[in-house]
Structure formats: structure tokens, C-alpha cells
Amino acid sequence: MTTKIIAHRGASKLAPENTMFAFELAYKLGAEGLETDVQLTKDHIPVLIHDETLTRTTNGRGYVKDYTYKELLRLDAGSWFSREFKQAKLLSLEQFLVWIKPKDLSLNLELKNNKIDYHQLESIVYNMLKEHKLIKRTTLSTFNPNSVKRLSELDNDIEIAFLTSKKNINLIEYASSLGANAIHIKYRLLNRQLQEQALANNMPIRVYTINKYKQMMNCYEHQVAGIFTDVPHKALTFRNVYQFKREL
């Protein structure tokens, strides 16, 4: 199995995360998939931002949920990273899906509902994906067990990943009981036994957030389904190195 390179919030070491600058750059660098985070505005528009609050990645303050999308569009979402990106704006999920649809990229949408359990986030996102005919290219992931259950009730065919950083000897069984059919784990949880259990249950493992050479090579050795990385160009280079060494 070839491990897929998924750009974490875009090429987020090189451009402001979850902005079109980061997504465009990841695509140009050869990423095979994109990962981004979804939250809901006051007027129930899904937007791409990791934090529940605006402070870290915009010049705004307060919670995303307390602003309309039109209000959020006034914010600068790039200068925190570099003045070069001062034109960056928060993106709606709708804008992003229109952009990604014609491109040969897989999509991972992380529903950010483990701290704020947004009402109907699952169905809003699912219906938008269905409208754009992107269900088969998309994985929906979340740390929220109840959200996994709700997603599984929407569609048996969509890939649903349970996200976790917690050690659990019965992780595959637990994730499956929630309705997940994939797991996304923190790197320290990766081991041969877990990978074997996942393969036996036809459950892909993807690992976050992998930016270092040794971690990448270990993931390739374990043949995980994918890695989430802020540096997709490096991950691709090191995967080529790994494949070359295996052929020697």
C-alpha cells in the first residue's frame, strides 16, 4: 500500500492555514489530498477554521459561532502568518468545494465539534457534499464520538473516521461500534499490532501530524493509508526515498 500524502490545513508551514493560499500551494506541490476544519457561523454557514475562536489566525476576537459569515469576511486571515498574505480571507465550505471539485484530490473534512457541538453540523456538511457530488472522495472525521454516531446514521457509504490521541487497546472495536470505518490517530499511537488489527477489519489508519523525516519513514514502513502533514513537498520527497531504498 502506498501511503497517501494529505496536506494538513493545506501547506500550512508555508502559508496561512485553511486559506486558499495554503490549499493552492499544497496542490501545486503535489499533495494527494487536503485536510481542513469545519465550524459553523451564527447564520449556520460552514467555514474553514481550526480554532473555535478567531484570535490566533485572524485579527478578530471571540467565537466563530457568534459571527455571521458576512461579518467574518471582513477579517484578515493571513497577516498573523506574514504580511505577504494580508489579503487572505476565511473560506466557506461552499467556496472550497467548488474549487476542489475539478481537481484530482481526496478531501478530509474534520468537523470541529468536540468543544462546541454545533447543531446539525453533520447534516449541513453532508448535504453540501452530496450537492457537489463529492461524497465518494471525502472522509469526514471528528474527535466527538456522538458526532461519529450521527454521521453513520446519515449514510452507510461515506467514510467516517474517528479521531483520537488517546491510547485504547480496543480502539478498532470501539471506533467500529460508534459507526466509524476509519481511524485517524496521533503518531505516538501507531504500532504494528494496531495496524494489523485495522487491516483485519478493513479499517484504514491515517496518522497526524507528521512533519519529521523519521516519523514519515516509520509511517511508510507501517504502510498506513495516509499521513497528515504541514509539509507535503517533503513528505513526497521522503516517500520517494523510502520506495527507492525498498527497491535496492
Residue 1 reports pLDDT greater than 90: no
What CATH number should be reported for the domain holding residue 84?
Answer: 3.20.20.190
What local confidence, expressed as pLDDT, does residue 156 receive?
Answer: 82
What local confidence, expressed as pLDDT, does residue 199 receive?
Answer: 93
Catalytic residue among 8, 119, 132, 184: 8
Residue 98 reports pLDDT greater than 90: yes
- Count of domains forming the chain: 1
Average pLDDT, the chain: 97
pLDDT tens string 129-177: 999 999 999 999 999 999 999 999 999 889 999 999 999 999 999 999 9
Residue 247 reports pLDDT greater than 90: no
Write out the residue range of the structural domain in which residue 106 sits.
4-247
What local confidence, expressed as pLDDT, does residue 76 receive?
Answer: 98
50 is an active site residue = yes
In sign, the C-alpha dihedral spanning 44, 45, 49, 55 is: negative
132 is an active site residue = no
pLDDT tens string 3-59: 999 999 999 999 999 999 999 999 999 999 999 999 999 999 999 999 999 999 999
Residue 242 reports pLDDT greater than 90: yes
For the whole model, what pTM was predicted?
0.98
pLDDT tens string 187-235: 999 999 999 999 999 999 999 999 999 999 999 999 999 999 999 999 9
What local confidence, expressed as pLDDT, does residue 157 receive?
Answer: 86
Measured torsion, CA atoms of residues 160, 204, 108, 53, in degrees rounded to the nearest 10:
70
Catalytic residue among 44, 50, 132, 222: 50
